[in-house]
Structure 1
Amino acid sequence: MIDLWSPSAGMSVGMIIITSYLLGLVHGITPDEHTWPITFSYAVGSYSAKKGLIVGLIFSLSFTVQRSLMSEISYFALSKVFSLPYFNYIIYIIVGTAMALGGMYVFKFKNAFHVHFSKIDRSHHAAALKGEEYPDVQPPTPKMAIVHGFIAGFGFGAFALIIYTVLAPSMPNAYVGWVPGFFFGIGTATVQAIAGLLFGTITTHLKISREVASKISSLTAGRTLLWGGIVFVVAGIFGLTFPSIANFQITTPLHVHNLHSLGIEFVLVIVVVLVIGTGTLVREVRKAAKISVPSEDLHE
């Protein structure tokens, strides 16, 4: 019988592969700070169901490559440094920095912060509030998702602990030490690709003009990456400075990884995806919906 909560060593290669893949599915479905914020950002910014699926797949395949590499390293019991208590907080800072830089790219750097140093143009601000004007933005690129996917793969949690300390060392030889990490990544990619498709689809069905919807998609991606990245960096610094507080956990009755113990990881997902990302999308769509546009320019 497959045990996803606490699999034991000594399983057959077939069972290890199945267990790894199923763990990847759970990892992709449950709120994980190393996948959902980034998939959401790039998929929404793509303004396309097809591109959303592709970017979700690209990100998670890059994640898969990293997990395969770490799985191979773990076969030789060389991954102990990655399980150190403070390591995950260092990854938060690195991932957050990469996200913030991605957000600045979306805003074309000079427009990342909208600040006036001269006389305030009230009409300009009034138009912006109505959704008639948006910052000069551009959609994030798949290449950025590849970099973020590889960096995010270094995050260490319950899933990584199982892959690196139980499944990878149980492989028969070094030639297949990468297999558990690979199938774990493929399981994650299965879900994240579907999630990317759904996020991309949402932006194409907004009841506003296509031009405005496209700008709002990029704006949402930019803010999620920029401010979400800052939140990650702050969380990493806080974790390194006050580890006893940052390691808080709320236990739930759900016997599922990422849902049984809720801590800073869960908070990051909620803040970045729901508060910053979804909050921006909903707010900007409401603003834009107040603008009257020709009926033929609306989505069906």
Structure 2
Amino acid sequence: MKYNLDGPVYFVVGLVMAIAGSYILRGKYIHLPIDVLLGGHQHHTNEAKRIPLHEAHPREVPIKMTIVHGLIAGFGFGAYASIITFVLAPQMPSIWYAPLPGLMFGIGTMIMQIILGAIFGGSLRARKFTEEEVKYVGRKTAGITLYYGGIVFALVGLLIIFLPQIDAWAISTGIPIPNLDAIDIGFLLVISVVGVIGLYGIIKSYKEAVKIHRLNSSTSNA
């Protein structure tokens, strides 16, 4: 609270998001030292498993990239992360139990992602989409959200760095729940990235997948 680091944090997080999204969509990204630790950089091409009708098939996300992205995200200090780090963990009976609140938070997040992913993937499979077409929707949506959302994050970060008074703007909602207690720049940022850009990514990816599915179906029937 003494040093407002929202601007630099938003900028760094946005930069990493944009790099990851660019890699998924275009096959290009800045290599990080983690490559060496995880067995060296492996060259990928867009030629493998290319789906017809699209110039640049979204690429699979390497494990090393998910580790780097998750590690950076794990150092965030949002409301819930701050509660885990500074309130719940210190109340544990010993240092050996201190990781439990964060572990439970991570497990709960993972379970919900599995459930929502299964529902989303199952709904596409019910429309006779192939496994590769379902993957296309997921990867393209992730790429669009990360790339354009990262640009928005970085721009907002720069705006806060040069105009820090903007970060103090907030409209109270009267809801005593962290992240929901006020409408501020952080709340609007998350809504715009996850809501607007994320929804746009889903719709755009789904429409492209429908065209691909129809093309693949007509080709197989022929």
Relative to the length of structure 1, the TM-score reads 0.53
- Separation of aligned partners in 2, 1:297 and 1:270: 41
CA RMSD of aligned residues (A): 3.3
How far the C-alpha of 1:224 sits from its partner, in A, is: 1.5
Relative to the length of structure 2, the TM-score reads 0.69
Counterpart for residue 221 of structure 1:
142
How far the C-alpha of 1:244 sits from its partner, in A, is: 1.7
How far the C-alpha of 1:188 sits from its partner, in A, is: 3.3
- Separation of aligned partners in 2, 1:184 and 1:161: 12
1:108 aligns with 2:27: yes
- Separation of aligned partners in 2, 1:205 and 1:276: 25
Q: Which digits, 9 at most, give the CA deviation of each residue in 1:230-268, with x for residues without a partner?
A: 112112222222222123223224333222223223222
How far the C-alpha of 1:213 sits from its partner, in A, is: 5.0
How far the C-alpha of 1:193 sits from its partner, in A, is: 3.5
Structure 1: runs of 5 or more not aligned: 1-82, 111-130
Instruction: Say which structure, 1 or 2, has more relative contact order (CA 8 Å, 6+ apart).
Output: 1
Bigger Cα displacement from structure 2, 236-245 vs 192-201? 192-201
- Separation of aligned partners in 1, 2:129 and 2:170: 42
Q: Which digits, 9 at most, give the CA deviation of each residue in 1:70-91, with x for residues without a partner?
A: xxxxxxxxxxxxx554234333
How far the C-alpha of 1:155 sits from its partner, in A, is: 1.6
2:177 to 256, 259, 263: 256
Mapping 1:88-107, distance limit 5 Å? 88-106=6-24, 107=26
How far the C-alpha of 1:202 sits from its partner, in A, is: 4.9
- Separation of aligned partners in 2, 1:279 and 1:102: 18
Task: Answer whether contact 1:86 1:239 (CA < 8 A) is retained.
Answer: no
Q: Count residues with an aligned counterpart.
A: 196
- Separation of aligned partners in 1, 2:132 and 2:102: 41
Mapping 1:135-284, distance limit 5 Å? 135-205=56-126, 214-284=135-205
Task: Answer whether contact 1:88 1:155 (CA < 8 A) is retained.
Answer: no
Task: Answer whether contact 2:89 2:98 (CA < 8 A) is retained.
Answer: yes
- Separation of aligned partners in 1, 2:20 and 2:103: 26
Counterpart for residue 46 of structure 2:
none
Determine what percentage of the aligned residue pairs are the same residue. Answer: 38
How far the C-alpha of 1:196 sits from its partner, in A, is: 3.7
